Amino acid sequence: MNVGRPIELGKGFVRSFGLPRIIIALFLLSLFILAPIAGVNVGTSFSDTLNRFGMNAIMVLAMVPMIHSGCGLNFGLPLGIIAGLLGATISLQVNIPGPASFFLAILFCTPFALILGWGYGQLLNRVKGGEMMIATYVGFSSVAFMCIMWLLLPFNNPTMVWGYSGSGLRTTISVEGYYLHALNNFLSIRLTRHLVIPTGMLLFFAFFAFIIWAFLHTKTGTAMTAVGSNPVFARASGINVDRIRTLSVVMSTWLGAVGILVYQQSFGFIQLYMGPFYMALPAVSAILIGGASVNKASILNVVIGTFLFQGIVTMTPSVMNSMIHTDMSEVIRIVVSNGMILYALTRKTEAVR
């Protein structure tokens, strides 16, 4: 045996997995190693990471259908989030307390997600090749449009509207008394004083991940992958490409809507107005960190990516702060997440046809 072979193998691994991903994984690993030295409680950190994983994973999962159908990275995630926000606010307006309100919210957000997703899908079918830029701005304009709507819509539940004027929704609305920790507390396991596993939330994600995994194994799911892989081939196999793409966009939008509801039940607040504005970027970079490319993604990418990304977001502030007494976590988050997106965009993939 010569020495060259392991090096070659290593190179092959780096090439297939991507250097940036390895750096990020090593970075997170070193953070976990450094944490005890820096005096940060690993249990709390891990618990936080798990919690954030559960909060964000479904929104990352929302990237999968659109990537599969060749619509690219769903920078238009805010549209799905808006559907979720509508569901949440209507659920609170109906004013049924307790975890039931969570399922009501999912119920109410569904028609909005379907309609918005359908329209968004129709739009993206007309702009094939320029999806990502347009998706970004569809997200932005819909958020800005809803800012007007939040002021005007006739909500009147006193927990939601501005106290002094009695109309117009507040920027943040607490979900306490409604669905706060509806999933988090379900079957949650307290291992130590610091380490809590939010079982319900993780199961909820696992359920959706399974549904998507299963969907991709069905006839329609197979067609969706083929459309993303080579739309001309799919057309020549009798597939209605536009319809499959629309379906994927609807799915992504609905997952985004459910995703924000899961996020809210753990976070405790509904963030309206400019809240959803930059929500797409973390989700996009998470799935890319997990190993997805502009036109290929799997459930495993979602799990790995969300864990790595949220791990870094949770660990950097605490570890950094105690190590060098400087909170550079924001900067690191910006550089890592956008750097990852840039890396993916500059790869030569089949996406440019």
Contacts with 197 (C-beta within 8 Å, 6 or more apart), sequence order = 47, 50, 188, 189, 190, 191
Q: State yes or no: residue 152 binds another protein (CB under 8 A).
A: yes
Binding mask 74-93 for another protein (x = CB under 8 A): -x------------------
Contact between 338 and another protein per CB under 8 A: yes
Asked if 316 and 333 touch (Cβ cutoff 8 Å), the reply is yes
Q: Give the Å distances, CA to CA, from 340 to 72, 201, 333.
A: 15, 27, 11
Q: Which of 192, 222 has the CB closer to another protein?
A: 222
Are 84 and 261 spatial neighbours (Cβ–Cβ below 8 Å)?
A: yes
The site for another protein, by CB under 8 A, has a size of 59
Distance CA 58, CA 206 (A): 9
Q: In this chain, which of 144, 187, 211, 300 binds another protein, going by CB under 8 A?
A: 144
- Among positions 38, 299, 323, 345, the unique one binding another protein when judged by CB under 8 A: 345
CB of 336 to another protein, least distance (A): 8
Q: Backbone phi, then psi, for 196, in 5-degree steps? A: -120, 135
Nearer to another protein, 95 or 338 (CB): 338
Question: Which of 229, 243, 268, 321 forms a contact with another protein (CB under 8 A)?
Answer: 229
Interface with another protein (CB under 8 A), residue from 11, 122, 240, 300: 240
Applying CB under 8 A, the span of 24-32, 51-59, 138-146, 179-187 interacting with another protein comes to: 138-146
> CB under 8 A: which stretch of 7-15, 213-221, 248-256, 300-308 binds another protein?
213-221
Of 13, 17, 145, 207, which lies in the binding site for another protein, with binding defined by CB under 8 A? 145
DSSP 161: B
Q: Which residues contact 107 (CB under 8 A, 6 or more apart)?
A: 87
Report the Cα–Cα distance between both ends of the chain, in Å, rounded: 43
247 scored as a contact of another protein (CB under 8 A): no
DSSP state of 226: H
Does residue 238 touch another protein according to CB under 8 A? yes
Phi then psi for 275, rounded to 5 degrees? Answer: -55, -50
147 scored as a contact of another protein (CB under 8 A) = yes
Helix or strand run (H / E) with residue 333: helix 329-346
Query: Which of the ranges 63-71, 84-92, 97-105, 216-224 carries the binding residues for another protein, by CB under 8 A?
Result: 216-224
Q: What are the backbone angles phi and psi of residue 75, rounded to the nearest 5°? A: -70, -10
- Binding residues (CB under 8 A) for another protein: these are 75, 123, 126-130, 132-134, 136-138, 140-141, 143-145, 147-148, 151-152, 168, 217-220, 222-223, 225-226, 229-230, 232-233, 235-240, 281, 296, 326, 328, 330-335, 338-339, 341-342, 345-346, 350, 352
